[in-house]
Chain A
Amino acid sequence: MDDKALYKLNSIAQQLRRLIIETAHSARAGHTGGSLSEVEILTALYFSFLNIDPEHPDWEDRDRFILSKGHASLGYYAALAQRGYFPIEELETFDREDSALQAHPDMHKCKGVDFSTGSLGQGLSIGVGIALGALKKNKRIRTIVLLGDGECQEGQVWEAAMFAGSNHIPKLIAIVDYNKVQLSNRVDENISLEPFAFKWEAFGWNVLSVDGHDIAELLSALSRADHLSEQGPVVVIANTIKGKGVSFMEGKFEWHGKAPNDQEYIEALKELNLR
């Protein structure tokens, strides 16, 4: 990847952060912290890795993406809008009555959403089903599932991991937005996931660990994951920072499900525009 392409992707990531802050502020709702932590992951996917066509969101041979941490919809919608699935202005309707942009992504309302999510722990099983369906249909598509770290406390995640590992499900890539903070506390102070990579390995997955805010590193890991996933499932553990990019939100569980007020909004945008 050349510097120019990387610069462009980083600019997109920064734009997504601004859209997240603007949307959350305007709606007075949304999960700001976990949306900011997933920005580079979504940028790498939607603006480079995924084989998709926003003009034809239902194209059968597209790669599939599932946001298993469905509450981080602010980041998802920002990426979908920026990628051209719907107008940026539509973000203003986020979480409002009759909006396509529900608090949690709804596949029947929002263009580009491959599967509805919201209740944590369910996305990986859906992804396993999709990857299995693609295999049965002889389709060479990739299925990507983005999980939250707190979400990995759900038992269903490990049911799905065990099934995928045991059956060597190909073309399935999980990414964990490992921002170390969940709704009520730091993850390791609630229920520690560690040794996290070891757990996935023990369930039969190939594991790659990256800096989840380094797009070049993410893309190189995705490319390697793509290759490895021919043999079986791969997880990319993306080490991130909750609230990344806005200093007073970083690492704070208080920003899990909170939108910035007027003052915080101005300060956040000031920080984001400086970069």
Chain B
Amino acid sequence: MKLGEEIAQRLAFGQALVELGEEKPNMLVLDADVGPSTQTQLFGHAFPDRFIEVGIAEQNMIGIAAGLSTFGFIPWVSTFAVFMTKRAGDQIRNSVAHTKANVKINGAYGGLPTGRAGATHSAIEDLAVMRSMPNVIVMDPADPQEALVCARLAMEIEGPVYVRTVRCSVPVIFPEDHKIEIGKAVKLHEGKDIAIISCGMMTPRVLKAAEELKKQGISARVLHMATIKPIDVEAICDAAESIGKIITVENHSIIGGLGGAVCEVVSEFAPCRVKRLGFPDIFLESGDDEVFFHRFGLDIDGIASTAKLLAEERGRTKDVH
């Protein structure tokens, strides 16, 4: 993958599964009739004996995966994040999270980009749901490269991991030797006027927004949270204490996801001003992804202008206290 290249993250993830499948003979993939969409079909073509098509039956898929894991198999389950985390939410909670089953969960089509499928298919609350379950690690990779890194890391962890991917193309921002640590933020940009904390596909555009802000004389610290849970408490507190203003940016509802997690941390350990950028408490609609991202201030200009407003807001910085 070349830096700056635009690649559909689902495709990168599907290829990552094939790459991992070659390394790990005990890895299996289960999908609920959406393999051509999630791109787990690539694994199915490469390893037909290790791909299990369960049909449109997400709840059963989770149980089968949990049962398979008792024999040392490492099953990936994949379907649209919206159905994975709610239709099969109870199954994930009780048969996987509570039992610490070694099942890896891919919530594909995370957030808004669903190929114009609208309200029923957009996963605006999957991070909130998964974050609230004990024993589950929650990842939202930024780009195609990090999707591979997260998938690989998930395989190394014993226990349930939720890896969210998006349908759309995302520019590659990380080099091939990119590494992440569970519960550690990746600092992508240093700054003192505002801290922007983002996850998933929002991070590449946050980086561009930071460059825009720089031109306008505003320096932004950019923290990418590849793992929403556990979250990097230290990095958040440091941003809160040394900068005092935080914007969170996510392809998710502002309730319970990254913004929620950051607010939980700062309100308990380092109170400061936080502005959450994400989807307000509404259902999305069908239409063009970028129209909606723009509407909710989740395009580069929107992120930059919100950051500028907050950076210039008076009376809230740490210096004033």
Interface positions, chain A 126-181, Cβ under 8 Å from B, are 126-134, 136-137, 139, 155-156, 159-160, 162-163
Residues of B within 8 A of A125 (CB): 59-60, 62-64, 66-67, 91, 95
| A123 CB contacts on chain B under 8 angstroms | 63
Cβ of B129 < 8 Å from any Cβ of A? no
Q: Quick check: B91 and A129 within 8 Å, CB to CB?
A: no
The answer to whether A126 touches B67, judged by C-beta atoms less than 8 angstroms apart, is: yes
Size of B's binding interface in residues, CB under 8 A: 25
Among A107, A114, A156, A162, the residue within 8 A (CB) of B63 is A156
Nearest CB in chain B to that of A125: its residue: B63
Tell me if B91 and A122 are in contact (CB < 8 A). yes
Tell which of A127, A159, A162 touches B67, judged by Cβ atoms closer than 8 Å.
Answer: A127
Number of interface residues of A (CB under 8 A): 32
Residue A108 lies at the interface, judged by CB distance under 8 Å to chain B: yes
Are A128 and B63 within 8 A (Cβ)?
A: yes
Does A119 have its Cβ within 8 Å of any Cβ on chain B?
Answer: yes
A115 at the interface (CB under 8 A from B): yes
Chain B residues positioned under 8 Å from A130 (CB to CB):
67-68, 70-71
Tell me whether A257 is interfacial, beta carbon within 8 Å: no
- With a CB–CB cut-off of 8 A, which chain A residues contact B93? 119
Query: Closest residue to B52 on the A side, CB-wise?
Result: A132
- A-B CB pair tally, cutoff 8 Å: 99
B59, A159: Cβ atoms closer than 8 Å:
yes
Q: Which residues of chain A are near B73, meaning CB under 8 Å?
A: 133, 136
- Given A129-B66, A130-B71, A132-B64, A119:B59 Cβ within 8 A: no
B192 within 8 A of A: no
Please, which residue of chain B has its CB at the minimum distance from the CB of A166?
A: B55
Q: In the complex, what residues of B have CB within 8 A of residue A129's CB?
A: 63-70
Asked whether, in the complex, the Cβ of B60 is within 8 Å of the Cβ of A156, the reply is yes
Task: Mark each residue of chain B from 59 to 90: 1 if its CB lies under 8 Å from any CB of chain A, else 0.
Answer: 11011111111110100000000000000001
A177 CA to B274 CA, complexed, in Å: 55
Indicate if the CB atoms of A160 and B71 lie closer than 8 Å.
Answer: no
What A residues does B70 contact at CB under 8 A? Answer: 64, 114-115, 129-130, 133
* CB pair B100 A132 closer than 8 Å: no
Q: What are 17 A-B pairs with beta-carbon distances under 8 A?
A: A107-B99, A115-B99, A119-B90, A119-B91, A119-B94, A122-B90, A125-B64, A126-B63, A126-B95, A129-B67, A132-B67, A133-B67, A136-B73, A159-B55, A159-B59, A163-B55, A163-B57
Chain B residues at the A interface, C-beta cutoff of 8 Å: 52, 54-55, 57, 59-60, 62-71, 73, 90-91, 93-95, 98-100
